[in-house]
Each structure stands twice: as C-alpha cells, then as structure tokens.
C-alpha cells in the first residue's frame, strides 16, 4: 500500500509508476530495460516494507534518485511534475543544484 499526501491509502500500482516514468523519459536515450528495473526496485521498496506501507513522497524520492542516475532531463521532467514547482524560481533552484553536483563530480 502507498499512503497519499492527503492520507488516503491505495494499492501500489506498478502501471501508474511505469506510466509516469515513461512520460519523463519520452524521447530520451533510456532503455526499456532500465525503466523496468526502476519500476521493479520501486515495487520491491513498497512490498518489502516491514510496515507494508510507504508514503508516496518516499516512493517519489526513490524514483527521482534512480532517474537522476539514468538521465538528468528525465529526472527534471519527473521532478517538475512530482514536486509541483510553483514558479520558475523553484525550477531554477533545482537546475542549479544539479549543475553544482555535476561540477563537483567532474
């Protein structure tokens, strides 16, 4: 089960997760196998939880961390919907943080 932001509980929907990831990765060089792996890891994260529940924020953060490793554009697309950036400033802050991390890893 996943616990939504408003407190509702829903059964984990693998197809819903895959659909969101596919939209984020549209026209990006990310293989279907890698996307399936992200969905598999996400499903295992929920199913293997000792409480048998995870919040959607935990699930979303996991997905974003995996997408960040695969493709930063896909990550930004997913994060912009998931985090619901309120304005361009929030979006810019996220991009600047990504750029800062990239510079440190070079």
Q: Helices (DSSP H) in the chain: which residue ranges?
A: 14-24, 32-47, 56-70, 72-82, 88-105
CA distances to 22, 53, 57, 89 from 72, in Å = 14, 28, 19, 18
Domain of residue 78: give its range.
Answer: 2-105
pTM over 0.85: no
Sign of CA dihedral 73, 23, 86, 6: negative
Number of folded domains that form the chain: 1
Nearest to 63 by CA among 98, 1, 18: 18
- Residue 40, pLDDT > 90, answer yes
Q: Is 70 exceeded by the pLDDT of residue 67?
A: yes
pLDDT tens digit string along 2-36? 999 899 999 999 999 999 999 999 999 999 999 99
Specify the pLDDT at position 32: 94
């Amino acid at each position: 089960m996943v616990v939504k932001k408003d407190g509702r509980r829903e059964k984990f929907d693998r197809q819903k997760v895959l659909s969101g990831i596919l939209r984020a990765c549209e026209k990006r060089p990310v293989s279907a196998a890698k996307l399936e792996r992200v969905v598999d890891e996400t499903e295992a994260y929920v199913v293997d939880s000792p409480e048998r529940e995870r919040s959607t924020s935990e699930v979303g953060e996991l997905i974003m961390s995996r997408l960040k490793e695969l493709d930063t554009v896909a990550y930004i697309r997913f994060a912009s919907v998931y985090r619901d950036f309120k304005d361009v400033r929030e979006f810019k802050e996220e991009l600047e943080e990504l750029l800062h991390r990239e510079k440190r890893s070079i």
